[in-house]
Structure 1
């Protein structure tokens, strides 16, 4: 049986399972699993385990990750991303690049995050996003996550940030964006997200969906 760990590039509007399904269909490998989901609005590196390597999924999910994100200030949505509806707006204070960098630095290290309602976590056996779609909000316990670095790639006044984030497992970038906006005395949400690296697997290593037809999996 094949035993392979291979990164793929998940396109925007695909679910992580769409990629799994496509790889199964093209390669005819029955056992395929991913090591860390990406939201449909996001794109980027999705590590898949084929065959015997599916036993390593939990181990691979512990790898650090790197993201490029775009944050819109002054408004927020119920999903904290562009797939949702705007639920709140707020003025954006006049901000300098140094103001923003000072706030970003406060989020580096071990921080507390409250998981978003639109997430796959379960409460009493029910996915949070299922409750959210039914219009329900339930209490969620905060969790410790590790942020290794946040770089301000671009500041486009008055209301758009581009960030490079390196983080540990379990980090919700949507929540981080909302918390950063709150620390800047406004509200905000993600408008774009690209995962550029998972552990040692980078963008250059990832197979694109359009390349699948000519790709042959080879056991490691």
Structure 2
């Protein structure tokens, strides 16, 4: 195997990991701790010349002592680039909260959910058969450039100290409209028109009538005419709805799910996210194409090491450590 440059040890660094869809970002970080906390890459090896410490004062190093953080989480549904910081690298993670990001996402028309994605419950249904590829391309133009976005009411954002989802779940009227955010959509394009040729379906779970009334009561605190009603007949709901894929490059703070939700409304329909991939987070990308781009490490590399750490090479490095050495950015 080719030699890998080794920085001064233990090291602090940043590196990108490719998160799979399904688990939470934090659960993956927690799973990685046993690897990082027992690797000489990130921990100080005991020195024979170090002063002796009495047994009474000696403190054993616990798994998890290595500082590990993420520069912007991904929902369980989402996959793609997740920037991680180790040691002093965690102090550099804030730069990735407000950096340029790229996403590709699949929108499924005809139904909106409380979370704006397929992980949530159905809120309402709406017609979709009238929507054409050309209409989507035209509607996308309205969402390019500097736009205003309103976060979903079922979110953890707080208003007067209370998460928005508590207002929606408990039927508490919002004291004021949810504050819109200014974001920039640098590019936005339709990359695949699936039509009905796909395997996606609306979530089986739906809001009960009581839950709908509670959500209406919350929204009517700022919109007296708010109403949540299905606009489709049952027979139509059994048909395969239209789906399409869009790709975007956006500023930090952009809600992809909100963009899809608002786009569906602009098409006189309803819609939600069924797939979401982050392909860029700052300089960390899935497919390096620009100067300064840095590739990422697949989660499978760490998953394999957790089940079988394998043999070390002639320099004492395990396979996963060599991957980190190759792709990390030393701080």
TM-score, reference length from structure 2: 0.62
Aligned twin of 1:156: 194
Unaligned runs of 5+ in 1: none
Quickly say closer, same or farther: Cα 1:120–1:162, change in 2 above 3 A: same
For 1:8-87, list aligned pairs within 5 A: 8-28=17-37, 30-87=66-123
Residue pairs, 1:54-203, within 5 angstroms: 54-129=90-165, 138=174, 139-157=177-195, 159-203=242-286
State the secondary structure of the residue aligned to 1:58. helix
**Structure 2 residue matching 1:215: 3-state secondary structure:** helix
How many residues are matched? 220
CA deviation profile, 1:35-75 (whole Å, cap 9, x unmatched): 11111111111001111011111112221111110001111
Which structure shows the bigger proportion of residues in strand conformation? 1
CA distance in 2 between counterparts of 1:121 and 1:54 reads 24
Q: What's the TM-score once normalised by structure 1's chain length?
A: 0.91
Unaligned runs of 5+ in 2: 1-9, 43-65, 197-241, 288-294, 306-318
Larger Rg: 2
Q: Distance in 1 between matches of 2:15 and 2:171?
A: 38
- Computed over aligned residues only, the root mean square deviation of the Cα atoms, in angstroms, reads 2.1
Q: 2:256 and 2:320 mapped to 1: Cα distance?
A: 32
- 1:134 to partner: Cα distance: 5.6
Q: Is the 8 A contact 1:93 1:185 kept in 2?
A: no
Q: Cα distance 1:50–1:136, how it changes in 2: closer, same or farther (>3 A)?
A: farther
Q: What is the aligned counterpart of 1:210 among 273, 277, 300?
A: 300
